[in-house]
Structure 1
């Protein structure tokens, strides 16, 4: 196709196209510049707000974000993310959550951002659930755990570093959540959940996540939520497992092969709770992995149960492959986000019926092939 560049109409069209391209480029550049300017101004306001708080200072200049982080890690203060009275630009919030808005839509994201989640147990499973819930738009989250970060926590915890060893797990997660999303409201409770005083921690929750590894407390929590009509999602055993393809979401009544799920299911039935609690668990049959042994000198000191932090809590280390608890936590976060947004996962496939389902699909496939080919297939 030949274009006559000397034609007056052609010149007008080309001029219009060039002008449109130039205008689009200028608008894009202006938008990018405006967003960068907002980010810079917001960072300045944050630094001014933090610098105005009482505390030792050797310089008249506001501290840099790096200095603030180092100071917090060393002294245990909670300066990062504590932007009291400082509003985060809604345009920046929506940009940070843009992919989620595309997926869930305006109405779904409004429900997510207004949702309140309580996580009881903030180790390998709970920490990953917390991080992904906040990254996806949850604004109000409460973290409940009495435990502290240890060196052995670092192979699976979502936020802990070497600098966090010896600090409460909930405080470690709180700091990271505030760094990810400046608008998040985190209520970190360094305490253990007890059924006698559980209402203060749970009654305002839209969803509760049970990531407790003590069976007595776990059953108490699930029973309490069931009786009070509080939605709860429970994590079963991620320890001593290695196959991520066997991780499932189902109702507690459909669980199988998981020793912890079996014990929880039986205890709940005795308490009158047979179903209605979604869980994440693994159908992998545990192998010959066992609890790490205690040194002989510990047994010589007397009853090893006295070494536990609380009664009924294990005193030996359960071998855990780091990626598995994270997958459990991500399953939980995904399920709750979809439920809050009104876009629930459609009928998670119970493992117990999967074999029969495959057999039915196979028979249907054979029948269709017979009709198409007009002959009997074996």
Structure 2
């Protein structure tokens, strides 16, 4: 008589992810006090924090881009700065400047608002090239150079930037090299009718309550650093690394695209997929994790050919076609 095992085999994670999962759920619960819907944006922003990457949030005005980033920062016990980009903004306005001290007869460096942990940049595409160049260094190197002296940024250092895809007047398109420094480009759409009803109900019942005061801090800088280290330990098999490389390589040999993604995109997909696995309680990456994060990693790193763009084809469609054509590892 054959023995039957009545108890199903339970998966035992090799990495303790319970605290990380609990923290992520607590953050989502806090944000849900104010933000209705926008689950994909919130999840991707949390992943960007865990993967230690910047995020570009794109959507029309009024879809909670700024308020979501601001409230997410409130769940972290870290310094927060909000910078409104304008066409007359100069690098010194965000980086800081050296001021002559009469008492000491020496120049002293006064730090600008960029010296913070989480920086929210509203309408990043409104600032001119000189200011964008200053942002490029701080995003890429996590440091700035003033008067020949390097100033390191305190960890964590994350930039959440917003932009409006419709408005063109008074805007400057971000250079491809700067776009490449964003881990994600998150597209934010309109809420459903049901969600919009809940938004109205929430505003009605809150009355004069301030949204930011409703959010409690969940994580501190030390915990963020610990969770970022855990993400690096998430297991990814060799066949999945080849899967990522195949997806990115296909963007470089695709008839719809004028410019494909760089190896930095491959690294971004891998890191984001690890974070996606971790918040779902797994210490290993699956093909689904890669498929979920790839569009947000790739959509701002590729450029369509002029012909395809004129036909109304989009980068989003190109990425989805590529993902569908690559064989999923088994």
- The TM-score normalised by the length of structure 1 is 0.26
Q: Which has the higher contact order (CA 8 A, sep 6+)?
A: 2
- The TM-score normalised by the length of structure 2 is 0.29
Name the structure where strand makes up a greater proportion of residues: 2
Rg larger in 1 or in 2? 1
Name the structure where helix makes up a greater proportion of residues: 1
